[in-house]
Each structure stands twice: as C-alpha cells, then as structure tokens.
Amino acid sequence: MLLTANTARLFVFTAPTDLRKSYDGLAALVRDHFGHALLEGHLFIFLNRSRSRLKALYFDGTGVCILQKRLEVGRFPALRGDLGHLELNLAELHLLLQGHQVVGRLDLKAASISMKA
C-alpha cells in the first residue's frame, strides 16, 4: 500500500529528475537534498523534465518501494518550493496524482482578499 501509518511526511522534489535513476540513485537524492534517511518512512516524489512521468520512493517497513506513473495526456503541474522541494498533505498528493494544476497551499493573507460592501 502506498501510504501507511508509517508514512510520516510527503515531499516533492521540485527540480526535474532523471527518472532513469532507480533505488540507489533516488535514495542518494533523498539523502543529499532532503537530509532525511529513506528508512524514516517518508514518501519522496520526483518528476521528469517534461512532467509527464512521476516516481515515488518510500520505505514500507520491510523494503524500499518505487511506484511510477506516466500520464498519457497532459502534464503534472509545475511545482515550486523555496528549498527545492515542497511538502504536501494527503489531499494535495491526490490532486498531484490526478494531474490537477492547483497543488500546494495558497497564501491566504488579508491583503490578497478583496471584500466589497
């Protein structure tokens, strides 16, 4: 199963990734970029340059798993994060996997909301 009680956090690497990488190559990105040990149980998501393919890497408690999705039509949304990655919640992950263009949290500052009387 993709998400279990052991899956603590969900991260998306926002830079394009060479998805020819497999377990060790993606695990090195997790270690070097995210600063996490893969065995902590977090889910790490990587997108290719054209955003037509996605790989997810996680530890399920017994072994390291890779899941891959290829969109037949369209592209995954372009994501940006200040640190080169974005942390998602479960609802945002579902939106991403479905290819929705609005993924991530919106800044809901009072200045951005105009209320007319």
| Residue 3, pLDDT score | 59
User: Given a cut of 80, is residue 115 above it in pLDDT?
Assistant: no
110: confidence class by pLDDT, cuts 50, 70, 90: very low
Tell me if 34 sits within 8 A of 28, measured CB to CB: no
| Residue 4, pLDDT score | 52
| Residue 108, pLDDT score | 40
Phi, psi for residue 48 in degrees, rounded to 5: -80, 175
Which residue, 44, 64, 55, 43, is CA-closest to 18?
55
Considering the chain, what is the average pLDDT of its residues? 80
Quick: pLDDT tens for 68-106.
999 888 888 887 766 678 888 888 888 888 877 655 554
| Residue 100, pLDDT score | 73
Question: Domain extents for the chain?
Answer: 10-104
| Residue 91, pLDDT score | 83
Residue partners of 88: CB distance under 8 A and separation at least 6? 10, 11, 12, 45, 96, 103, 104
| Higher local confidence (pLDDT), 52 or 103 | 52
Residue partners of 58: CB distance under 8 A and separation at least 6? 2, 7, 38, 41, 42, 43, 44, 64, 65
| Cβ-defined contacts of 58-62 (< 8 Å, 24+) | 58/2, 58/7, 59/6, 60/1, 60/4, 60/6, 61/4, 61/6
